Chain A
Amino acid sequence: MTDTDGEALKRRAAALLEEDRDRVHRRTDRFFAALLIGQWVCAIALAAIYSPYAWEGKTRAIHVHVYAAILLGGVINALPIFLAWARPGAAVTRYVIASAQMLWSALLIHLMGGRIETHFHVFGSLAFLSFYRDWKVIIPATVVVAGDHFVRGMLWPESVYGIANPEWWRFLEHAFWVVFEDTFLLLACFAISRDMEQRALVQAEVEAIGQREQKKSAALDVALQQLRTSQETLVRTEKLAAVGQLAASVGHELRNPLFAIRNANTFVTKRLDGNADPKVTQFLQLMERELGVCSKIIADLLDFARERAPNAQPCPLRPLVDEAISLVPASKVKVVNAIPEDLPVPSLDKDQFRQIIINLVQNAVEAMPAERGGEVKVVAEGGGDKPWRISVVDDGPGMPSDVIERVFEPLFTTKTKGTGLGLAIVSNMVKAHRGVIRVDSSLGRGSRFDIELPAT
């Protein structure tokens, strides 16, 4: 465990201790509020039963004890019960409660005619106050008892000591027995407090261990997820490699027959030269178009399967982009080459990068809704110490997040007529240039493909 961990543990233990103490204080406040009310009710009942009337011959009147029980008892209770409700758990609340509890001892002793048995209320109350587990609470309680004895000892000594002229230190003797009990209560409070501290520390340690285990578990989950993803990627890559080899083999085998068919088709078209039935001419044009699609599919398959290492050479970007744009079939979409004239010349594989630009631009153009035009812009920056950034930006419909996640996956396509290899080829070629490609797109706001290449 580091010093920082140790400090954090101590802070957590202190917070837990504080919470525990607050809970105990609030609970004990409620307990004493109930006890104070109970004592009040008992005192009224006691006065009403024990000394209901004061007599003057045959005339009777409600005894002062009854009024004292109702009014003085009510006054004693008013503030502590109010504070127990308004400021539960506060130190001042328990000090006032402690004082009130000891004042109840004095009142009950009065109401019970000074019976010696009632004096045990003092010692019982002190014991109850230790429920707070706060040694400081014992102090105001003791001060009230000692103060009561001191003042009454001065003004009305018989009521306390039973003699008219006691020694000046007699109140100390009474206070001593209270302090005698206090000593054990204080020791008990300290012991309980130490136990609470120890418990808070143990709880903090348990929490810390739990958190560490949780972190380990989370890391393990992440590792497992990565492993699972890697396994899936590996399986997919192996499958793709197998499919790629097969596709390359098939494509290679199909290329020559296709070439022959196209030549034958061209020859037949030229020989007929407009003299054939219009239906025949229409079918010949259809054959030529579909043969072109087949050639494109085979070319894509072969490009994806080959993964040729780039042959990097200085290659001006602007003319390369112009060339690529010229190879994209014309449409309503405006394609803009916004690469600065004075952009430094990067070093890259011209053929591969032409293919990259063609694929990205064509992808953007095909994504545009047929009913409206749009704009696709190719921009670039970098050179010198700065890395290269070539971006293809369109104002098309954009892509949802689930499409963005899979957009570079081989064979993934959202088009009705697509191989799903165009962007996968782009991604492979960019990686071969030690670059990265990112896509930023949102529905209705277009898409942006950024290729970043290291500075040359």
Chain B
Amino acid sequence: MEEAIENGVAAPRLSRGLVAILIAAWMLVVCGSFVMLWRYKSTPGAAGAKSDWPHASHLARSEDRATLVLFAHPYCPCTRASLEQLSRIMARVGGRVDAKVLFSEIADEDPKTSELWKKVEAIPGLVPLVDRDGMEAAAFGAKTSGHVVLFDRSGRGLYSGGITSARGHEGDNPGAQRVVALIATGVADRDTAPIFGCALKDD
């Protein structure tokens, strides 16, 4: 590798072979890094099984339409995408569902001051609530931020899962499509989808 002067600074003179090796190594490292990123983003969090409305819950369930509950960690950046998806769901079928977002408490932080709380307040038809001591999450079996549970007017469980395609990734996805289908028609190909988000509680 000889040196040549370029713009007043000694620049190395590269052979074609060396450039080819550099490009191959670069592509390998870049592709490997993207694969690692994809794997992280597509690794779902813990999910609870679908069940009917739990008796231990103190939440009010709608008697005349479906009830949707989304569990959220107030500072989880991935949940921003879940709320964005929920906003789209509400835009399509908002009149047919009673939707609530339950924010878990994090130490001394008040969830009401978080950006996500304000985002929920800005979405028509959504009600933000605080899940004191994580009691509701425990009652509904929710362990991951972004977990959505859907019930019909009788309290029968229709759906339990996520509504994003990856961690913090917006866009149309099977989970959101199923929720819309279940609210609109009561029928969907499946009643769950992977949940992508932060853990609601420490292990």
Interface residues of A (CB under 8 A from B): 50-60, 63-65, 68, 71-72, 75-76, 78-79, 82-83, 85-88, 92, 96, 103, 106-107, 110, 113-116, 152, 155-156, 158-159, 161-164
Contacts and interface: CB of A to CB of B under 8 A. Distances in A.
A106 B169 CA distance: 13
B23 A96 contact: yes
A221 B75 CA distance: 86
B202 A57 contact: yes
B173 A68 contact: no
Nearest to B45: A56
Nearest to A161: B172
B26 A159 contact: no
Contact of A64 (B6, B37, B170): B37
A52 B38 contact: no
B174 A164 contact: yes
Interface in B156-203: 165-166, 168-174, 177, 198-203
Contacts of B23: 79, 92, 96
B131 to A, nearest CB: 13
Contact of A87 (B19, B73, B198): B19
Given A57-B73, A58-B202, A92-B19, 9 more contacts: A53-B77, A55-B198, A56-B202, A85-B7, A86-B11, A86-B14, A87-B19, A113-B77, A159-B38
Interface stretch (B28-36, B57-65, B118-126, B147-155): B28-36
A56 B173 contact: no
Contacts of A92: 19, 23
A76 B34 CA distance: 10
Contact of A79 (B7, B22, B33): B22
Given A50-B77, A113-B170, A156-B38, A56 B199 contact: yes
B93 to A, nearest CB: 17
A76 to B, nearest CB: 6
Contact of B6 (A50, A71, A85): A85
Given A64-B37, A72-B37, A96-B23, A116 B171 contact: yes
B89 interface: no
Interface of B: 6-7, 9, 11-14, 19, 22-23, 26, 29-30, 33-34, 37-38, 40-42, 73, 75-78, 80-81, 84, 104, 106-107, 145, 165-166, 168-174, 177, 198-203
A79 B172 contact: no
5 contacts: A63-B77, A79-B26, A87-B14, A88-B7, A163-B177
B174 to A, nearest CB: 5
Nearest to A83: B19
A165 B38 CA distance: 18
Centre residue among B198, B201, B202 by max chain A CB count within 10 A: B198
B34 A156 contact: no
Nearest to A118: B170
A79 B24 CA distance: 11
Contact of A51 (B77, B84, B203): B77
In order of increasing CB-CB distance, the 4 nearest A-B pairs are A162-B172, A158-B165, A51-B77, A57-B202
Contacts of B73: 55, 57
Contacts of A88: 6-7
B107 A54 contact: no
Contact of A113 (B9, B30, B168, B202): B168
B40 A86 contact: no
A441 B170 CA distance: 95
Contact of B170 (A63, A71, A78, A114): A114
Contacts of A51: 77-78, 168
A68 B9 CA distance: 31
Max count, chain A CB within 10 A of own CB: residue among B37, B104, B173: B37
Nearest to B29: A75
A54 B77 contact: yes
Contacts of B76: 54-55
A110 B167 CA distance: 10
A58 B37 contact: no
A297 B166 CA distance: 119
A163 B172 contact: yes
Given A72-B37, A110-B41, A159 B165 contact: yes
A121 to B, nearest CB: 15
Contacts of B29: 75
Contacts of A64: 37, 40-41
Nearest to A54: B198
Given A56-B203, A113-B80, A72 B11 contact: no
A60 B6 contact: no
Residue of B6, B34, B203 with highest tally of chain A CB at under 10 A:
B34
Given A79-B23, A87-B14, A55 B75 contact: yes
